Amino acid sequence: MVALLLLISFILHIITLFSLYMLFQQYKKGNALESKEIIELMETYLEEIKEENNRLQNYIHSLEREKDNAPAKTAAKSELPAEGNKEEESFALSLAEKMNDHIEASLEAKVLQLHQQGKSLEEIAKTLNCGKTEAELIIKFQQKM
């Protein structure tokens, strides 16, 4: 009787292990298909980003040439995106305007600059309208680096 129960148990264990193996194989195939789809999707996005970057670079270079040479305006306009998408043009124009604007220093840079000038923590905090502790932490982090 015990031998019969052991035989049945052994057969059930074999069937269970075989079914687990088959499920694992199906899972691997499913993941492989999903990963291929994800890779293809990412490659598509990457190509779109590269194209957008190239159009933006061409547009910025044309603006720089316009700035350098007034007669080069006609040549520069020929390199603008042919689509005439107003969103892209407004984005490129705002980007070009930002390039011409001055760059504002970050709070950390301002704190460090005032500290190098010999200002106290209270003076730095009042000047930059930030907390004394914040200014102190910025200075300490910079000193550790």
pLDDT tens profile 87-143: 666 666 666 666 655 566 788 888 999 999 999 989 999 999 888 888 888 888 888
Domain boundary among 69, 84, 102: 102
What's the whole-model pTM score?
0.32
Which residue carries 């069937």 as its tokens? 15
Q: Are residues 85 and 23 in the same domain?
A: yes
Give the chain's domain count: 2
In a domain? residue 2: no
- Other CB atoms within 10 Å distance of the CB of residue 25: 10
Are 110 and 90 found together in one domain? no
5-32 tens-digit pLDDT:
889 999 999 999 999 999 888 887 776 6
Neighbours of 20 (CB within 10 A): 10
| 108 is a domain residue | yes
